[in-house]
Structure 1
Amino acid sequence: MSILEISELVVARGAGIVLQGLTVEVANNEIAAILGPNGAGKTTLLETIVGLHRPQSGHVVFDGDDITGAKPHQIAARGIRLVPEGRRLFSGLTVGENLRIGAEGAGLKEWRWVLEIFPQLQKLLGSRGGTLSGGEQQMVAIGRALVAKPRLMILDEPSWGLAPLLVDDVLTAVENIRQLGTTIVLVEQNVEAALKIAGQAHILADGKIQRSLGHDEAIARPEFLREAYLGAPIAPA
């Protein structure tokens, strides 16, 4: 059963059309990876889902309700959270304060349970966000979204700027979050890492989803990913 259905989505930014009739579905409680080269429109897609861009046409349906063109706070209230590229923590606030703000924004008080997912943050609760390493900041950013208990979490480049060992830690945490019942949409340039945890891989190029692959097929047919990233034509399904 699909929790997110996007159909014929057209989105412009500035004078150009970025998404050109994009269609994709995400099943409930899966990790769906959106893969493709720089400039393909991946971040625009994520930001459109959460209401930061208003599409020219097409539809975004979440759990059976059309949320196309809804305001960001209305979409957040339905249980969708975006963890943007670059973390965007409140750098002057402590880790604990960042996490508490995430919970309070959803009308919740309890946030400490997220330390079960990210135990590394326990000793950092009194540290300011701006003093943390990149990996620590990413854990706080994901944790700040998670404490709102979203039904759909959208992650934009969670491995950005991280050492390989930390990439594994962060993506393992993402899989643990899925096991809690949260659906994940993941944009990730680290294709190998993304495919370790993704149940579906959707290749975005030229403003459209060119091909959708199950986990096993994505691993077995790397030529489809090479074609997308190198700009060669993608063979028809």
Structure 2
Amino acid sequence: MEQQNIESLRKQISELSIKLADYRDLEQKYENAFDELTEKEEFNFALFQYNPMTTVVVDDEGKVIKSNAAKRNSGDRLPNIGDVMYKDYASRHEINMYEELMTCIKNRQSKTFAEMHYGDKFLSITLAPFPKGAIIITQDITDRVQAEQDRIMLINDLRRALNEVETLRSLLPICASCKKIRDDSGYWNTVEEYFGLRNSVDFSHTLCPDCIKTLYPDLWEKMPKKTPVTKTRT
């Protein structure tokens, strides 16, 4: 009888030892999971707080929960905790941003507005939903937009300048007396020389009727005359 009791006790101790080992193993797993969760939470907190772009977290009703360091240091007015984003705060957008935010939260789909004009600024806004709300990331891109606008203006100015140069190049400086033409190098050429060098044109020389009349009046009297055509304006 005593032997049976001893065996029973040994069996119970063995079972308890196994359970204790399982408990310790489970406790270790919980500790590891807690440490991993803590590490992830610290990482996410650091990622949120030190994100260089201003970030605001809202709940599923669009109410502000918190904002990050970049938002607090931006110099802009900060939203109060509990403010409804895009109603109580930043409500002057050209489109209904509150409706856009609610749609993103409802559909669980993020959306980015690459270039939003807000007051005297240009903003890039991303709405990123999570199960109980959304993260709103805003980047001030005013300098970038202004630089792009300046670049476009510079290109347009250069195009106008090139057009003016082309116009000037199409004007031929011609001597009012001898009718020689000045080339791009500053040399004066006869009409034959100027066009012959540039267009491979061969000239056949003759005299116009006015010159014949002036230089050879006798010959002019003997030449058949054409009836002049009268030009009228339409």
The interval holding the TM-score normalised by the smaller chain is under 0.3
Greater fraction strand: 1
Structure number with higher relative contact order (C-alpha < 8 Å, ≥ 6 residues apart): 1
TM-score (norm 1): 0.21
Query: Whose helix fraction is larger, Structure 1's or Structure 2's?
Result: 2
Q: Which is greater in Rg?
A: 2
